[in-house]
């Protein structure tokens, strides 16, 4: 739901009569024609069921191919008079979605042509703006070919004008601080693993996830293996105008049996435990290791440390800390079951909510191996993002795109419910509205032990909304399944 001044919806469901193979189908290629600019064709391994609909602002044709995967990367429509670009994605774990951005307003009509070695799904677009005339390709096919052409039955839904709020808000900025770096290696595991390396790997994975989320942007505090003084990390977050500061570390202790992840926020009075105080003292000594010395006299740092009474930032830090801890719990044992408090220098920003995540104990041989695992790094980054996203779904700043998208989605749903359409048409239109906002919604990858009810509670949405957003018939989920998270209501 990007930058919509007026939300027009024309939804077409195309159900193709076919003897669909139970095996997964393959989309081999797509072909465009500059001589016939309103025509495009998909080469399939077999006939398939599909549906399509058109969107506006910007103009797009959206095609869903049931139980289909890409055989190879599809060609982009370079310098085409009608098609601007193309992107693909997987829906419901099995269907292939193709989104083609158009250079003008158009409605589509499909034709399935069955072949001996597969099928061709063809689209002809009806344009509001005039484009070069094209020949009747379908007539030529019927006249000169022995293949069978099947006209697609289309059930149109009458156009409905939905006035959606403008969604031109700014991105939410998340400052990602990979601990240590350069001469400061941080803690070291028994097999030689250095903290600075594994936390940087997790930070880069979190950066990729955030930058892939519409309405969010990551700002890396360090983008390589070099040392950044602690006070400068805070300053860089301010320069990036961050809405959240996340510092990523790996814990260590002289007892190799210590294990589990922890989340910390700033303690304004005193550490929540002796262990938390020891850890903060250890991390705060990084400047001395990095050769920066004690910079407590620096004017910028003094001004930052001067006022730690910003109640809103403290409450937000606690809230996001709770949600990240809850999300990280899905990966296994926690070292502390509640958010801890300690005097970390990098958390001492009076106006930026800040948390520090200890991802695991690098001093524990088993957890050292996990920290070196790309799969664990991916899962930890995804878990942190899940908590961050859950926080901003509840408390997104009002001038951000995410806050406005959530509000717009609620407004549009209300308009659909109050529209004069027949009751039988409303579920189809609501489904179309949901399709429109999918691109801007968060996603959650199912980990071992997670349930749909638990995910609904984590993101503060109903199970019904989750099932509707993901077109699920029941509440069963599978490990690795990716769920779209609809806006909280």
pLDDT of residue 144: 33
Residue count (the chain): 489
Q: Are strands 118-127 and 216-220 parallel, antiparallel or unpaired?
A: unpaired
Fold of the domain built from segment(s) 17-151: Immunoglobulin-like (2.60.40)
* Residues 370-379, mean pLDDT to the nearest whole number: 92
- Does 17-151 match 401-485 in CATH topology? no
Band the pLDDT of 419: cuts 50, 70, 90: low
pLDDT of residue 350: 65
Most confident residue range from 59-63, 217-221, 263-267: 217-221
pLDDT in tens, 282-303: 444 444 444 454 444 444 433 4
pLDDT of residue 150: 44
pLDDT of residue 73: 77
Asked which of 97-101, 168-172, 431-435 is least confident by mean pLDDT, the reply is 431-435
Residue 98 backbone phi and psi in degrees, to 5:
-120, 125
Is pLDDT at 186 greater than 80 in this prediction? yes
* Residues 324-346, mean pLDDT to the nearest whole number: 82
DSSP code of residue 488: P
Is pLDDT at 470 greater than 50 in this prediction? yes
pLDDT in tens, 120-168: 888 888 776 544 444 343 333 333 333 444 444 443 333 444 444 455 6
Cα–Cα distance between 66 and 404 in angstroms, integer? Answer: 32
Most confident residue range from 66-80, 179-193, 292-306, 460-474: 179-193
Cα–Cα distance between 220 and 229 in angstroms, integer? Answer: 14
pLDDT in tens, 441-459: 566 777 777 788 877 766 6
Most confident residue range from 56-65, 258-267, 414-423, 477-486: 258-267
Provide the sign of the torsion angle of the four alpha carbons 268, 274, 280, 284, taken in this order.
positive
Q: How far is CA 91 from CA 96, 123, 195, 207, in A?
A: 6, 21, 37, 24
Band the pLDDT of 38: cuts 50, 70, 90: confident
Asked which of 88-92, 130-134, 197-201, 366-370 is least confident by mean pLDDT, the reply is 130-134
The residue ranking higher by pLDDT, 272 or 112, is 112
Q: Is the pTM of this model over 0.85?
A: no
Cα–Cα distance between 444 and 456 in angstroms, integer? Answer: 11
Most confident residue range from 332-346, 372-386, 463-477: 372-386
Asked which of 51-55, 220-224, 256-260, 351-355 is least confident by mean pLDDT, the reply is 51-55
Fold of the domain built from segment(s) 401-485: Membrane-bound Lytic Murein Transglycosylase D; Chain A (3.10.350)
Most confident residue range from 36-45, 177-186, 433-442, 479-488: 177-186
pLDDT of residue 143: 34
Asked which of 6-15, 91-100, 147-156, 194-203 is least confident by mean pLDDT, the reply is 6-15
Is pLDDT at 57 greater than 60 in this prediction? yes
Task: Compute the mean pLDDT over every residue in the chain, rounded to the nearest whole number.
Answer: 74
Asked which of 64-68, 174-178, 395-399, 420-424 is least confident by mean pLDDT, the reply is 420-424
Asked which of 18-27, 32-41, 67-76, 402-411 is least confident by mean pLDDT, the reply is 18-27
Cα–Cα distance between 248 and 94 in angstroms, integer? Answer: 34
Fold of the domain built from segment(s) 172-395: Aminopeptidase (3.40.630)
373 contacts: CB under 8 Å, gap ≥ 6: none
pLDDT of residue 16: 37
User: Percentage of the chain with pLDDT > 70?
Assistant: 66
Cα–Cα distance between 149 and 134 in angstroms, integer? Answer: 19
Q: Where are the domains of the chain?
A: 17-151, 172-395, 401-485
Residue 408, beta-bridge partner list: none
Residue 53, beta-bridge partner list: 11, 62
């Amino acid at each position: 739901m990007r930058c919509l001044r007026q939300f027009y919806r024309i939804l077409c469901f195309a159900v193709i009569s076919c003897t669909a193979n139970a095996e997964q189908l393959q989309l081999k290629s797509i072909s465009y024609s500059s001589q016939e600019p309103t025509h495009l064709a998909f080469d399939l391994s077999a006939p398939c069921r599909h549906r399509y609909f058109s969107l506006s602002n910007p103009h797009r044709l959206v095609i869903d191919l049931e139980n289909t995967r890409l055989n190879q990367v599809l060609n982009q429509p370079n310098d085409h008079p009608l098609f601007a670009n193309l992107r693909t994605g997987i829906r419901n774990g099995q269907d292939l979605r193709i989104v083609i951005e158009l250079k003008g307003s158009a409605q589509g009509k499909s034709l399935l042509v069955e072949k001996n070695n597969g099928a061709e799904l063809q689209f002809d677009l009806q344009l509001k703006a005039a484009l070069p005339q094209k020949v009747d390709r379908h007539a030529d096919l019927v006249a000169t070919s022995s293949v069978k052409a099947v006209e697609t039955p289309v059930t149109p839904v009458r156009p409905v004008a939905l006035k959606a709020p403008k969604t031109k808000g700014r991105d939410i900025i998340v400052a990602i601080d990979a601990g240590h770096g350069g001469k400061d290696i941080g803690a070291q595991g028994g097999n030689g693993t250095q903290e600075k390396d594994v936390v940087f790997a997790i930070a880069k994975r979190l950066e990729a996830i955030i930058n892939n989320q519409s309405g969010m942007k990551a700002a890396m505090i360090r983008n390589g293996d070099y040392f950044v003084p602690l006070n400068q990390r805070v300053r860089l977050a301010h320069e990036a105008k961050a809405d959240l500061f996340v510092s990523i570390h790996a814990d260590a202790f002289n007892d190799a049996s210590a294990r589990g992840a922890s989340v910390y926020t700033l303690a304004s009075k005193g550490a929540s435990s002796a262990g938390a105080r020891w850890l903060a003292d250890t991390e705060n000594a990084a400047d001395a290791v990095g050769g920066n010395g004690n910079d407590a006299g620096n004017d910028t740092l003094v001004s930052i440390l001067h006022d730690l009474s910003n109640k809103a930032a403290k409450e937000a830090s606690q809230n996001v800390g709770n949600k990240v801890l809850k999300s990280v719990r899905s990966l296994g044992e926690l070292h502390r079951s509640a958010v801890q408090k300690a005097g970390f220098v990098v958390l001492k920003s009076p106006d930026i909510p800040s948390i520090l995540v200890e991802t695991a104990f690098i001093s524990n041989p088993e957890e050292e191996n996990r920290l070196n695992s790309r799969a664990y790094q991916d899962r930890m980054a995804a878990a942190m993002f899940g908590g961050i996203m859950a926080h901003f779904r509840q408390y997104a700043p009002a001038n951000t795109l995410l806050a406005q998208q959530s509000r717009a989605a609620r407004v549009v749903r209300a308009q659909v419910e109050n529209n004069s359409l027949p009751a039988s048409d409303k579920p189809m239109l609501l489904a179309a509205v949901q399709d429109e906002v999918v691109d801007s919604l968060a996603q959650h990858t199912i980990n071992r032990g997670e349930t749909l009810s638990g995910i609904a509670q984590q993101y503060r949405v109903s199970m019904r909304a989750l099932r509707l957003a993901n077109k699920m018939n029941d509440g069963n989920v599978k490990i690795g399944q990716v769920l779209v998270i609809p806006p909280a209501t």
